[in-house]
Amino acid sequence: MPNFSQRLLTAGMLLFLLGLFSGLVIAEMPNSRMGLAAHLEGVMNGMFLIAAGLAWKRMSLTTFQEKLVYWLLLYGSYANFALIQSASVLGTSEMTPIAGEGYTGSAMAELLVNTGLVSVALTMITAVILMLVGLVRYRSRD
């Protein structure tokens, strides 16, 4: 049985580190405001994965649900960071009008980032709902 708790802790620490490194190059990004957003996404999603790893043993999920939540969390967290980092380089702004103000990416870049961010939102909502169900189930076992 995979130790999803430990894997999430490790993945979270790695993403946190990537977020810290991205903070070092904010000024070099074509859209530095979006670069700051990417930095924050990295450190916040890293902390979220760490929190999920710590909460993992307090959830009651089926084997299938555990695997699903684990992969949804990894995809959602890392893709979110990568997409916002890409937006800072590509200059996209349709889905991020505040951080992207004054920038417009190519139609293909906007489509790629928009589609990715919608998939991230759906992925993370699904994962968090399943985690909440698992936490409630665990609590009701006490």
The domain spans of the chain are: 4-141
Q: Which residues of 108-141 are buried (b: 16+ CB within 10 A; e: fewer)?
A: ebbebbbebbeebeebbeebbebbeebeeeeeee
Assigned token pair, 23: 């903070």
pLDDT band at 141 (very low <50, low <70, confident <90, very high): low
pLDDT band at 142 (very low <50, low <70, confident <90, very high): low
Amino acid of residue 100 = G
Length of the chain: 142
pLDDT band at 2 (very low <50, low <70, confident <90, very high): confident
Q: Which residues of 6-33 are buried (b: 16+ CB within 10 A; e: fewer)?
A: ebbbebbeebbebbeebeeebeebebeb
Q: What residue has token string 């951080």?
A: 99
Q: What's the pTM?
A: 0.93
